[in-house]
A and B are shown apart, each in its own frame.
Chain A
Amino acid sequence: MAVAIAAARVWRPNRGLSQAALLLLWRPGARGLARSHPHRQQQQFSSLDDKPQFPGASAEFIDKLEFIQPNVISGIPIYRVMDRQGQIINPSEDPHLPKEKVLKLYKSMTLLNTMDRILYESQRQGRISFYMTNYGEEGTHVGSAAALDNTDLVFGQYREAGVLMYRDYPLELFMAQCYGNISDLGKGRQMPVHYGCKERHFVTISSPLATQIPQAVGAAYAAKRANANRVVICYFGEGAASEGDAHAGFNFAATLECPIIFFCRNNGYAISTPTSEQYRGDGIAARGPGYGIMSIRVDGNDVFAVYNATREARRRAVAENQPFLIEAMTYRIGHHSTSDDSSAYRSVDEVNYWDKQDHPISRLRHYLLSQGWWDEEQEKAWRKQSRKKVRAPRPGGRRQGPAWEAGCLPTAPCPHR
């Protein structure tokens, strides 16, 4: 409930229509359970009554000409549980996750980070043709994955490998997909990082942006019809949210009342396009209420905040059959892909700040250290172990993979989305 109230309190147009806006947002129990939607209730028409009768909006009249000012100077606030040093700020928001679960969160993030480094190097060495890293966004992946059931369906964009990592997708299969070798379940059909796994309910990654959004809504609708007690989570970046498919997806999720979580990773850049050129409104979270969707903005580098928001959204999406929008603010520390060199459009200082001062892995490590669940020895040992795990030779592995000579690589940078 705290979540819904926070959203309602902030997203209120400055004057005038606040009552009606609150009305739309304070729908919690009513919408899914009761069949009566305000727009479907029979209105008693009376010409004597000076209230608006328009079918298109439930609002009061106003006789003063005013435009609603988009609120971008002080936008929707960012929910967080830990500060940058990994200390819980408000103890009542601490999810009190057991040690094993927090360690799993940490190990998933670090293993992903290690795999990213090794596969990025593999591309530079010509062993694979292409790769996309997840640096800086690991928190958004594992925080949300941990809050879902294992059978919840995942539609990703291309920077959500941590979700699969959390669901224990074998390292061999990650590597096999990137190498396109004999062990690849996709039989070498797909570009690297286009993972898919039926058993882990992770829909195969598709390159064109935002096409997964309406598809996810359709899947959620099917889950609702089947009474499956299942939620669909749909990941996308703030750039993909500009696509027409995103608009269609949001609108349909709301009108068809689907149990779906829209999870937007707002990482500041779409290849080289910064958010200031991608949109002029208050990010993606502010769009949700425009569609009638419960929305929240969270600190994506705070694993517990992501976990709490996703957990609550999941519970209510399934119970009330309505969509939720979570905008996780984060930062893309790495380049867009191996075809990109981000020093062309952003400063090294900016990247270093996020890498050193506000990284999901460091923040969780500080938490672990303060709980006494982790120490330097274990850190060292784990680092060694994870590198070994990623590098382990395996049948049908690198050695049986195709050889990518440098001459076969595209002659120009080819940023793939």
Chain B
Amino acid sequence: MAAVSGLVRRPLREVSGLLKRRFHWTAPTALQVTVRDAINQGMDEELERDEKVFLLGEEVAQYDGAYKVSRGLWKKYGDKRIIDTPISEMGFAGIAVGAAMAGLRPICEFMTFNFSMQAIDQVINSAAKTYYMSGGLQPVPIVFRGPNGASAGVAAQHSQCFAAWYGHCPGLKVVSPWNSEDAKGLIKSAIRDNNPVVVLENELMYGVPFEFPPEAQSKDFLIPIGKAKIERQGTHITVVSHSRPVGHCLEAAAVLSKEGVECEVINMRTIRPMDMETIEASVMKTNHLVTVEGGWPQFGVGAEICARIMEGPAFNFLDAPAVRVTGADVPMPYAKILEDNSIPQVKDIIFAIKKTLNI
């Protein structure tokens, strides 16, 4: 994985215009890029584009990042743009917020979002609320990023999903990429956005390669914040999800397709502001809804979607109550068998879909 970087290969058609005219050329083999490399690319391009952008966090510089997401960036940009900090989340989040207020565009990396709790006052009370509290005078163009949610065998204090916590707060934008395309487009949009943006990545997705469409290879490839994507068209039921569970939903949809059930799978991409239009349009088409998330059920992303469905036009199109598939309502245990049963699996999604459809 380390050796073959997506940055090296280029599509054939860029090689020579002459070639294009003379020969019949076949489409290039699809470019495969891991989520890690996509985020790396996105940050690299933004660091190059705007010298006010810089990255700070623990182990981000010479160590290439705790999860190697910032690999090569310190070598390329040096100490002024890629900064290793002492161990104090509250400290470096505060410093990043101050830098943003003073006109820089920091990317503040938390080793995992679990540790952002030690800095949450800086994220909420300082970053999120300042633009409003100042009557629009003081923007805070900061990006908080890092892995979120369950990993593998890291237990309670390393596995919490913060989508609902950050999604709750006005003043923040919160995005949750699933695949490489999402990761690159969203991190670039986040960096260019003048608001504080929380980017909830996923450690288990970092090493997963996805096909990178040609438009995603552009240096100006942006995914708009606040727009969901329909990953799979369907007619019988709408399945809404974000981050890693999107992959599980697609697997479930593939299984159910063999039984004649066509699921429409929506990848939220953004938690806040939530793209209710896409979800409502889909529910009005399929009449059924299942939400899937890795986080806890109470006050979660699924709960918010269900509440909004009831408040909007799509409610009258529901043929059955919406069902939420979530992580188990316990601090994440460590033992593998317990952990496996604490996160939504493909079989749980299939079960929920069948229950909703009454089959």
CA distance A344 to B59 in the complex (A): 12
In the complex, B18 has a CB within 8 A of chain A = no
Q: List residues of chain A with CB within 8 A of the CB of B58.
A: 271, 273
Give the contacting residue for B336; candidates A239, A344, A404; CB below 8 A: A404
Known: A191-B158, A409-B153. 8 other contacts (CB 8 A): A189-B155, A189-B338, A190-B156, A191-B153, A191-B155, A207-B155, A410-B152, A416-B158
Q: Which residue of B lies closest to A270 (CB)?
A: B87
Q: Mark B111-132, 1 if CB is under 8 A from A, else 0.
A: 1001101100000000000000
What 0/1 readout, one digit per residue, does chain A (244-283) give for beta carbons within 8 Å of chain B?
1100000000000000000000000011110001110000
Task: Return chain B residues, CB-CB under 8 Å to A187.
Answer: 333, 335
Q: Is B154 an interface residue (CB 8 A)?
A: yes
Which residue of B has the minimal Cβ distance to A237?
A: B87
Residues in chain A near residue B36, CB distance under 8 A: 412
Count of CB-CB pairs between chains A and B under 8 Å? 128
Q: How far is the CA of A414 from the CA of B158 in the complex (A)?
A: 10
State how many residues of chain A have any CB contact under 8 Å with chain B. 45
Q: Complex formed: what's the CA distance from A410 to B68 in Å? A: 13
Of A242, A277, A408, which is within 8 A of B88 by CB?
A242
Is A415 on the interface with B (CB-CB < 8 A)? yes
> Which residues of A from 271 to 322 have beta carbons under 8 Å from B?
271-273, 277-279
Docked pose: A416 CA to B63 CA in angstroms: 14
A194 to B336, CA, bound (A): 16
A414–B67 Cα distance when bound, in Å, is: 6
Known: A208-B114, A402-B337. A130 touches B153 (CB 8 A): yes
| A323 interface contact, C-beta 8 A | no
A404 surroundings in chain B (CB, below 8 A): 153, 336
Task: Tell me which of A243, A344, A414 contacts B151 (CB under 8 A).
Answer: A414
CA distance A191 to B158 in the complex (A): 10
State A416–B152 Cα separation when bound (angstroms): 12
* Interface 0/1 of A322-350, CB less than 8 Å to B: 00000000000000000000001100000
Closest chain A residue, CB of each to CB of B90: A244
User: When A345-B63, A412-B67, A412-B206 are in contact, do A273 and B86 touch as well, CB less than 8 Å?
Assistant: yes
Please give, as numbers and ranges, the residues of chain A lying within 8 Å of B68 by CB-CB distance.
Answer: 412-413
B59 and A191: CB pair below 8 A? no
In Å, the complex CA distance between A412 and B84 comes to 20
8 contacts between A and B (CB under 8 A): A190-B156, A206-B157, A210-B87, A239-B86, A243-B88, A244-B91, A273-B59, A278-B86
Q: How does the 8 Å CB contact mask read for B184-217 relative to A, with 1 for contact and 0 for none?
A: 0000000000000000000110111000000000
If A188-B338, A345-B63, A402-B337 touch, whether A412 touches B203 (CB-CB below 8 Å) is: yes
Chain A residue nearest in CB terms to B34: A411
Closest CB pairs A-B (n = 6): A188-B335, A411-B207, A129-B153, A180-B335, A242-B86, A207-B157
- Decide if B87 touches A408 in the complex (CB within 8 Å): no
Pairwise interchain contact B158-A402, C-beta atoms closer than 8 A = no
Residues 376-417 of A, flagged 1 when their CB comes within 8 A of B and 0 if not, give 000000000000000000000000001110001111111111
Asked whether, in the complex, the Cβ of A244 is within 8 Å of the Cβ of B118, the reply is yes
Complexed CA–CA distance, A402 and B337 (Å): 8
With A188-B333, A191-B334, A414-B66 as given contacts, are A209 and B87 in contact (CB-CB < 8 Å)? yes
Is A240 among interface residues, defined by CB-CB distance under 8 A?
A: yes
Contact with B334, one of A190, A208, A413 (Cβ below 8 angstroms)? A190
Give 1 or 0 for each of A188-199: 1 = CB within 8 Å of chain B CB: 111110100000
Known contacts: A207-B158, A272-B59. The answer to whether A413 contacts B66 by CB under 8 A is yes
State the Cβ distance, A194 to closest chain B Cβ, in Å: 7
State whether B66 touches A415 (Cβ < 8 A).
yes
Q: State how many angstroms separate the Cβ of A359 from the closest Cβ of chain B.
A: 26
> Which residues of the other chain, A, contact B338 by a CB distance below 8 angstroms?
188-189
Query: How many angstroms between the C-alpha atoms of A357 and B115 in the bound complex?
Result: 37
- The CA-CA distance from A149 to B88 in the complex, in Å, is 33
Q: How far is the CA of A190 from the CA of B154 in the complex (A)?
A: 8
B62 contacts chain A at the CB level, 8 A cutoff? yes
A348–chain B nearest beta-carbon distance, Å: 17
**Chain B residues with CB under 8 A of A277:** 84, 86
B331 close to chain A: CB less than 8 A: yes
Smallest beta-carbon distance B307→chain A, Å? 32
CB distance from A307 to the nearest CB of B (A): 29
What residues of A have a CB within 8 angstroms of the CB of B153 in the complex?
Answer: 129-130, 191, 404, 408-410
Chain A residue at smallest Cβ distance from B335: A188
CB-based nearest A residue for B66: A415
Contact, CB under 8 Å: B66 / A188: no
List residues 21-69 of chain B with CB under 8 A from any CB of chain A.
36, 58-59, 62-63, 66-68
Contact B203 A272 (CB under 8 A): no
Nearest Cβ in chain A — how far from B201, in angstroms?
A: 11
CA distance A239 to B203 in the complex (A): 24
B203: contacting residue among A181, A402, A408, A410, CB under 8 A? A410
Which residues of chain B are within 8 angstroms of A414 by Cβ–Cβ distance?
66-67, 151, 154, 203
Question: Which residues on A sit within 8 Å (CB–CB) of B337?
Answer: 188, 402
Q: Please give, as numbers and ranges, the residues of chain A lying within 8 Å of B152 by CB-CB distance.
A: 129, 408-410
Docked Cα-Cα span, A273 to B68, in Å, equals 15
Cα distance A144–B36 in the bound complex, in angstroms:
43
Contact A410 B87 (CB under 8 A): no
In the complex the two chains form, what is the Cα distance from A46 to B86 in whole Å? 47
Residues from 169 to 184 in A contacting B, C-beta threshold 8 Å: 180-181, 184
Tell whether, in the assembled complex, residue B62 and residue A189 are in contact, meaning their CB atoms are under 8 Å apart.
no
Q: Which residues of A contact B208 (CB under 8 A)?
A: 411
**Smallest beta-carbon distance B342→chain A, Å:** 11
